[in-house]
Amino acid sequence: SDLFVEIAWGLVKSKQPFLWVVRKKMVNGSENAFPSEFLEVVAAGKGHVVTWAPQEQVLAHVAIGGFWTHCGWNSTMESICEGVPMICLPLFADQTINVRVITDILGVGLQLEKGPRRDEIEMAIRTLMVEEKGRQMRQSAAVLKEKAKICLREGGSSHESLNKLTAHILSFANAKRTTS
């Protein structure tokens, strides 16, 4: 795929360390689709390509400075809960709405337009990782992480909402037992 090659070149040109998860068969012939200069960067230890990674654990690692995402809700929440700013490339459905929240409201992401070219990818990575705008996004993401912790801890709003939902669901089971 053209996008696959453009991402590879954008990563190389950004001169930033990276971890790229490329699932097997995600791109036809992906094993052979990497540009040679990209493979040299990986061989030099400046980047890693894997077929799978535990996303939440990766996002929680202190070495992670940004996250390229399609902006699905789970990935968005995981990134926010770990305080990691995002490079966003939404594909469809709720992702296009989520990206507006991430970029325009929360200020913790940069949006790439559909079919980005290597220079745009390089610029987004460099903006996120080395520019003042990226530093500001990391600060905003850190603030959101702390707010999420408050909501998720015992007594927090998310914790309480989950308890209420659980109690509501259990009430159906209890009601069924009493009528049987």
Per the domain annotation, does 159 fall within a domain?
A: no
Q: Tell me, yes or no, whether 32 lies in a domain.
A: no
* Euclidean distance between CA atoms 84 and 86, whole angstroms: 7
Q: In terms of residues, how long is the chain?
A: 180
What mean pLDDT do residues 49-73 have? 96
Q: What is the pLDDT of residues 158-179, one digit of tens each?
A: 999 999 999 999 998 877 777 7
Quick check: is 96 in a domain? yes
Domain with 132 in it: what CATH number? 3.40.50.2000
What is the reported pTM?
A: 0.86
Residue 122 located in a structural domain: yes
Contact 38, 8 (CB under 8 A): yes
- Distance (Å, whole) CA 149 – CA 18: 27
**In angstroms, rounded to a whole number, what is the distance separating the alpha carbons of residues 9 and 177?**
61
Asked if the model's pLDDT at residue 31 lies above 70, the reply is no
Span 104-120, average pLDDT = 97
Q: In which band, very low, low, confident or very high, does the pLDDT at 32 lie, cut at 50, 70 and 90?
A: low
Angle at which helices 36-43 and 2-14 cross, to 10°: 50
Instruction: Please give the pLDDT value at position 114.
Output: 92
In the chain, how many domains are there?
1
Domain that holds residue 89: 54-153
Q: How confident is the model at residue 60 (pLDDT cuts 50, 70, 90)?
A: very high
> Is residue 20 domain-resident?
no
161 located within any domain: no
Residue 64 lies in a domain: yes
